Amino acid sequence: MSRDCLRGLRHIFICRVRTGATVLAAAALLCGCANQGATQAEPNPDPLEAINRPIYKFNEGFDHFLLRPLATGYKKITPSPVRTGIANFYDNFRYPVVIFNSFLQAKFVQGFSDVGRFVVNSTVGVLGFLDPATDAGLPDSREDFGQTLARWGVPSGPYIVLPIIGPSTIRDGTGPLVDFLWLNPVWNIDNHRVRAWTLAIWFIQQRASLLLVSEQIDEAFDPYLFVKEGYLQHREYLIYDGNPPQDEEYFEDFEDEEF
C-alpha cells in the first residue's frame, strides 16, 4: 500500500465531512489503494455476509436502474448553487435530530451550540437555504441515535446491509426508527403528497452528491468489502468524535515503514 493511499485514508477518517459522502469516499479511496496491488486481511468479521451480499447486489441494481439516472438528470438540470441551497435546507430541516441526540449523549455545550445553529440558519439563513451559522462560529454536528446508543455502551452487533438503505449494523439500524420516523420533521407534514415529494427530492439530492465517488467504487475489485470497511471506520470516527482508539498510532506505524 502506497504512502499516498495511507495519507489519503488518514485525511478522510480524521477530517469531518458529510456522513453519506464519507462512507462512499472512504470506500472509493480504499478501492484505489487496492488496485495498486496491496492485499490486506479483512479486519472485521462479517457473520451475515451470505445474506448481505445478495442484498448489496439488489441495492446496486436498484441504484443503477432508478436512483442513479434520476440523480444524474437532477444534477444536469439544477445549477450548483441551487443544489447547495437545497442540500443546506435539508440538513437544517433534519437538524432537530442532531440537537436531540447531542443532549441525549450529555454533550450539553455542543447541544446548545446546535440549537443556536438551527435558529440562525432557520431565520437569517432563510429556512436553511443559506448557512450563516458556520461563519458565526456555530459548526455543523453529526449525531444520530445509533451514536447515542454507542455512547451508552450498546454494542454494534454484526454488519448488515439493509434493502435500499444500505450499510448499517444491528445497533445503527435502529437509529433511523427513532431519528427518521419519530424525530424528523418531515413526518409532521400533514399533506401526503407534499411529504412524498419532500422525501423524493431529499433522496435524489443525496444521491446526486455521490455520483463521482460511485464511479470509482464501481471499479473496485470487491465493492461490497470496501463499502463495508469504509462504513465501519466512519461510524467509529463519528462515535468517538473524530478520535477513535489507536487511530493515530495505527497510521503512524504505517508511516514509519519504508515503501
Q: Could you tell me the pTM of the whole model?
A: 0.75
27-38 tens-digit pLDDT: 444 444 444 443
Sign of the alpha-carbon dihedral angle for 233, 95, 174, 48: negative
| Residue position matching grid coordinates 418531515 | 186
Sign of the alpha-carbon dihedral angle for 145, 149, 150, 155: negative
Sign of the alpha-carbon dihedral angle for 215, 56, 44, 225: negative
Which residue ranges make up each domain of the chain? 3-255
239: nearest Cα among 156, 174, 158: 156
159-214 tens-digit pLDDT: 999 998 899 999 998 776 777 666 677 777 778 888 888 888 888 998 998 888 78
> Hey, which bits of 48-194 come out as E strands?
159-162, 166-169
What are the C-alpha distances in Å from 160 to residues 50, 124, 154? 10, 41, 16
Q: H or E stretch including 209? A: none
